[in-house]
Amino acid sequence: MTTPRTPYLRVDVGRLDANLTRVADRAASAGVALRPHAKTHKSVEVARRQLEAGAVGLTVATIGEAEVFVDGGCFDVFVAYPLWVDATAAARLRSLAERAVVAIGVDSVAGAEQAAGLLAGSGVEVLVEVDCGQRRTGVLPAGAGTVALAAARAGLGVRGVFTFPGHSYAPDALASAAVDEATALAEAATSVRAVGLDVRVLSGGSTPSLAASDLDVLTELRPGVYAFGDAQQWELGVLDPRDVALTCRATVVSHAGGRLVLDAGSKALGADRASYATGWGRLPAYDAARVVLLSEHHAVVDLAGAELPALGSVVDLVPNHVCAAVNLHDTLWAERDGALVAWTVAARGRNS
Amino acid sequence: MTTPRTPYLRVDVGRLDANLTRVADRAASAGVALRPHAKTHKSVEVARRQLEAGAVGLTVATIGEAEVFVDGGCFDVFVAYPLWVDATAAARLRSLAERAVVAIGVDSVAGAEQAAGLLAGSGVEVLVEVDCGQRRTGVLPAGAGTVALAAARAGLGVRGVFTFPGHSYAPDALASAAVDEATALAEAATSVRAVGLDVRVLSGGSTPSLAASDLDVLTELRPGVYAFGDAQQWELGVLDPRDVALTCRATVVSHAGGRLVLDAGSKALGADRASYATGWGRLPAYDAARVVLLSEHHAVVDLAGAELPALGSVVDLVPNHVCAAVNLHDTLWAERDGALVAWTVAARGRNS
């Protein structure tokens, strides 16, 4: 058996499959499509398991991610991002559309017309992005029809509308974010239908808000983190820590000053720390412990009085944000029945 | 000329060389050795420029980084980290020591004896890490002699003592951190000499504290960030923003809600945000602007009233922490006289 060097990412395949099945079953029983966001795992092996569990296709953030997953055998991809489509991007999207069903996001008339000018006739469809409260990208719901009409008039097929209820990432916000999500998508669909266009898809979903998403309104869910879970989900209370399927295995390198110092830092875990986070990651074996200082190659842990594990021993950490952690590694080490198999993070670094 | 896709990292080679020369000149004029930390750039091209400018060798954080730079032609490397040396690590260090001058950090008797048991006779030397105030790793200064003696008795050569004044990363802390650095190193050296061992090197240095480091005490400086600079140095006031040599070039993808949204997110810039930071990065062309929201592929910028640049146009961002940003990319695009050359981030992801 290969023994990777710490710090490395370890996937519990049994937990992963259970997470995939649980969400797939919820989508299936509600009659909505599941299109998981592959930015979380960036790995063809996980994508295949999602498709086998019933996903209709994948969500990605970039054309580069789409290329990796189409090459890996997923033939239905949605780039859920308001791409600015220049000639190079258009050529890549056209190439993908020859092999797969491809859709992209738009959130402006100018963006829709720019995309249409280079993609008309390619088969690439668009979904209009709607802002349901995160205040990042997306038009306000009442403006969706205007963007959709611009796309359609310029020659692009309009599939529907989508939103990301990113404001669900806060304590006690998941239920209200899910209400915002459904309200915004319904209003946006009305706006698009009012300009005479069909709306086949109302797409939403985030891992925190997933259980509360209104599946009488949404026709598609795009969660990402649910596959692995992470310390953010744990601390938001939407995930049982026993369901966390990815950990970073680290070695104890120092007891300086009575501290526990591990060799997994921000270059292995990512530096994400949301305002509600209690530290830079969590330790499954030490519920009360917190990562109180994170450098590039050090995690300093307050063990809350527990005995320090010996120098040279190994400890598992749960990253705050698993999407960021995965993107720092070339390999996920998948563990089943005590054996480790290397899964390539094929879309690592595919930012464009 | 190659045109990389946004978001990509761009190096201004003229500014880089000026930064390297400025610090090399300061070290040379004070008669201290400069051993830059290569974790910042992870690139053989930058390392060569540092060595050509007078560096005596490189500092690295991991054995994997050491391997990359020895392969790349640097024959003097110091792993400034309290490694736990197991059999695999020892074999790699022995292999390196056949081709290069190699030193590693230790901060405990147990760590020193563990390393010595596997490295004695290899030529690998140790430096004892001292905590001068960051409270991360390192013994207290008075304890350095005990660790040094353990290493020497077990068969390892002791080169000296080192510290990282990481607590210089705070407003108005650089001068006091530099005092702490010199005080701790001097006391540690006394402690080592008291057990009958020679101290050839007293090594310190961080980019914020560099100008204040006491070069009557220190014999070696190990700054890293100084090569490129970043928004942290800018906001700490230790760097003129006109000296920042690395930016992330991004495309304007959305004007949703009157916001400026760029396609460079935490997967291109890193998510580091120190307590003193005013946002998730800075924009050289808009001094008053702040990145107010950062997602994996979005930077939402408050332009402080300036006119929004057009959709599809490109904007430069300065990452908060350049070491983290570089580690997310496979390539640095080095610009000189308007032409771009690809420099490989050869040590990207080398966490072990």
What CATH number should be reported for the domain holding residue B192? 3.20.20.10
Same-domain check for residues A190 and A236: no
User: What residues 80-139 of chain A have any CB closer than 8 A to a CB of chain B?
Assistant: 81-84, 86, 88, 107-108, 110-111, 114, 129, 131, 135-139
Q: How many CB atoms lie within 10 A of CB A205?
A: 30
Chain A residues in contact with B254 (beta carbon < 8 A): 82, 107-108, 111, 137-138
- Using only C-alpha atoms, chain A has a radius of gyration, in whole angstroms, of 21
Residue B350 lies in a domain: no
Structure tokens of B268? 């291109």
Residue A2 lies in a domain: no
- Identify the three-state secondary structure at position A10: strand
Chain A contact for B159, CB < 8 A?
no
Q: Which residues of chain B, if any, have pLDDT below 50?
A: none
Chain B contact for A332, CB < 8 A?
no
Interface test with B, best of A3, A5, A60, A113 (most B CBs within 10 A): A5
Nearest partner of B221 among B29, B73, B11, judged by Cα? B29
Q: Is the dihedral of CA B248, B250, B256, B258 positive or negative?
A: positive
Of A180, A200, A228, the one marking the end of a domain is A228
- In this structure, are residues B297 and B315 in contact, taking their beta carbons and an 8 Å threshold? no
Interface test with A, best of B296, B300, B301, B322 (most A CBs within 10 A): B296
Same-domain check for residues A150 and A285: no
Chain B residues in contact with A268 (beta carbon < 8 A): 351
Residue A349 lies in a domain: no
Q: How many CB atoms lie within 10 A of CB B213?
A: 27
Distance, CA of A57 to CA of A36 (rounded, Å): 7
B327: amino acid identity, one letter: N
Q: Which residues of chain A, if any, have pLDDT below 50?
A: none
Distance, CA of A228 to CA of A243 (rounded, Å): 8
Distance, CA of B58 to CA of B72 (rounded, Å): 12
Q: Which of B5, B131, B296 sits opposite A257 (nearest CB)?
A: B131
Taking an 8 Å cut-off on Cβ atoms, the answer to whether A293 and B136 are in contact is yes
| Confidence (pLDDT) at A1 | 53
Domains contained in chain B, number: 2
Same-domain check for residues B140 and B269: no
Chain A residues in contact with B139 (beta carbon < 8 A): 256
Chain A residues in contact with B88 (beta carbon < 8 A): 5
Taking an 8 Å cut-off on Cβ atoms, the answer to whether A352 and B321 are in contact is no
Q: Which of B5, B81, B349 sits opposite A352 (nearest CB)?
A: B5
Structure tokens of A104? 């992209």
Same-domain check for residues B133 and B218: yes
Phi first, then psi, for residue B164 (nearest 5°) are -125, 110
Distance, CA of B297 to CA of A352 (rounded, Å): 9
The CA distance from B79 to the nearest CA of chain A, in Å, is 12
Q: What is the 3-state secondary structure (H, E, C) of A284-327?
A: CCECCCEEEEECCCCEEEECCCCCCCCCCCEEEEECCCHHHHHC
Show the domain range for B331.
232-344
- In DSSP terms, A315 is beta-bridged to A250
Residue B7 lies in a domain: no
Residue A242 lies in a domain: yes
Taking an 8 Å cut-off on Cβ atoms, the answer to whether A108 and B293 are in contact is no
Same-domain check for residues A263 and A299: yes
Say how many CB pairs under 8 Å bridge A and B: 171
CATH number of the domain that B284 lies in?
2.40.37.20
Chain A contact for B319, CB < 8 A?
no
Structure tokens of A30? 């509600």
Q: What is the pLDDT of residues A129-172, one digit of tens each?
A: 999 999 999 999 999 999 999 999 999 999 999 999 999 999 99
Same-domain check for residues B197 and B250: no
- Identify the three-state secondary structure at position B229: coil
Residue A189 lies in a domain: yes
Taking an 8 Å cut-off on Cβ atoms, the answer to whether B273 and A271 are in contact is yes
Same-domain check for residues B198 and B55: yes
Distance, CA of A84 to CA of B255 (rounded, Å): 12
Phi first, then psi, for residue B20 (nearest 5°) are -65, -45
Same-domain check for residues A196 and A148: yes
Of A171, A193, A228, the one marking the end of a domain is A228
Taking an 8 Å cut-off on Cβ atoms, the answer to whether B293 and A135 are in contact is yes
Distance, CA of B36 to CA of B212 (rounded, Å): 17
User: What ipTM goes with this model?
Assistant: 0.97
Same-domain check for residues B197 and B236: no
Same-domain check for residues A178 and A43: yes
Same-domain check for residues A219 and A247: no
Taking an 8 Å cut-off on Cβ atoms, the answer to whether A271 and B268 are in contact is no
Taking an 8 Å cut-off on Cβ atoms, the answer to whether B271 and A267 are in contact is no
The CA distance from A121 to the nearest CA of chain B, in Å, is 22
Distance, CA of A124 to CA of A193 (rounded, Å): 20
Edge-first strand listing for the sheet containing A33-34: A33-34, A220-221, A201-204, A157-163, A125-130, A101-106, A76-82, A58-60
Q: Is the dihedral of CA B338, B339, B340, B341 positive or negative?
A: negative
Residue B352 lies in a domain: no
Q: Which residue of B has its CA nearest to A6?
A: B352
User: What residues 254-283 of chain B have any CB closer than 8 A to a CB of chain A?
Assistant: 254-257, 259, 261, 263-264, 266-268, 270-273
Residue B161 lies in a domain: yes
Q: Which residue of B has its CA nearest to A60?
A: B297
Q: Which of B114, B140, B254 sits opposite A312 (nearest CB)?
A: B114
The CA distance from B49 to the nearest CA of chain A, in Å, is 24
Q: Is the dihedral of CA A287, A292, A298, A303 positive or negative?
A: negative
Distance from the first to the final alpha carbon of chain B:
36
Q: Which of A7, A61, A254 sits opposite B107 (nearest CB)?
A: A254
Taking an 8 Å cut-off on Cβ atoms, the answer to whether B253 and A84 are in contact is yes
Of B212, B227, B242, the one marking the end of a domain is B227
Evaluate if pTM is beyond 0.80. Answer: yes
Distance, CA of B322 to CA of B225 (rounded, Å): 7
What's the number of CA atoms in the CB half-sphere (13 Å) around residue B211? 11
Same-domain check for residues B218 and B284: no
Taking an 8 Å cut-off on Cβ atoms, the answer to whether B137 and A351 are in contact is no
User: What residues 193-222 of chain B have any CB closer than 8 A to a CB of chain A?
Assistant: none
Q: Which residue of B has its CA nearest to A259?
A: B136
